[in-house]
Amino acid sequence: MSDPLAGAIALVTGASRGIGRATALRLAGAGAHVVAVGRTQGALEELDDAARAAGGTATLVPLDMRDYPGIYRLAASLNERYQRLDVLVGNAAVVGQRSPLNHVEPQNWDEVMAVNVTANWHLIRAMDPLLKRSTAGRAVFVTSGAATSARAYAGPYSVSKAALNALARTYADETTSTPVRVNLFNPGPTRTRMRALVMPGEDPMTLPTSEQVAEKIVDLCLPSFSETGKLYDYRAGKLLEFRPPA
């Protein structure tokens, strides 16, 4: 089937750049109407142009993920217009301060937790009723190997991604008896601006592109993907159990 998400409504956060932008375009190419959330108006408009050029459609939502009331206003708008949400991709994230834990500024710590963790909880809280009205609601949260590697000088980011993993695990367990399927996606090192900022000496040409990674994210968004409570590791090329069986 050429458009496996024909007629679907797909919300992508952090859609202005990188993996989020590539995922939004892939979803649009699969037939979904994409609700693209990002902070940068100009970048969202460029995304819209690219989606239209490829025959897709998008609604642009300039929104800082720390604007939690804005998330609920968005949910109300989606409810009024579509009465459902078929796909949720929680991708927006910030790296935060790279320094020893005792040197991290409280304001920076709070920002990382606000965007990487708390915003995704608000997304779940706001969008869960809409996902449950879909015949095949799919939620994918973009995580990182930093959640388990816990390397020096990356404390805020590592802690936030570990918390995101627990958040997604909990949501997956709470929705097993519903049409909603919840999974995590670890892209690994990817050729993005964020990666270049963190690893400035790395050769980006040795890394997969955002477009390559996004193709696999979209696979987890399809109605035919029935797994839940799993982590897809892009580098490993497979689904992993991200918690031991009870």
CA-closest candidate to residue 210, choices 29, 16, 12, 18: 18
The pLDDT value recorded for residue 236 is 84
On whether the CB atoms of residues 230 and 184 are closer than 8 A, the answer is: yes
pLDDT of residue 143: 95
DSSP lists the bridge partners of residue 209 as 191
**H helix or E strand, kind and range, residue 80:** helix 68-81
Q: 170 near 139, Cβ under 8 Å?
A: no
Would residue 72 show up in a list of annotated catalytic residues for this protein? no
Q: Give me the pLDDT at residue 238, please.
A: 82
Catalytic residue of the set 68, 72, 157, 234: 157
Whose CA is closest to 225, among 239, 245, 246, 209? 239
Query: Is the whole-model pTM more than 0.85?
Result: yes
Which segments of the chain have a pLDDT < 50? 1, 245-246
Could you report the per-residue pLDDT of 41-100, keeping only the tens digit for each? Answer: 999 999 999 999 989 999 999 999 999 999 999 999 999 999 999 999 999 999 988 899
Instruction: Give the pLDDT of residue 71.
Output: 98
Query: Which pLDDT value is given to residue 102?
Result: 96
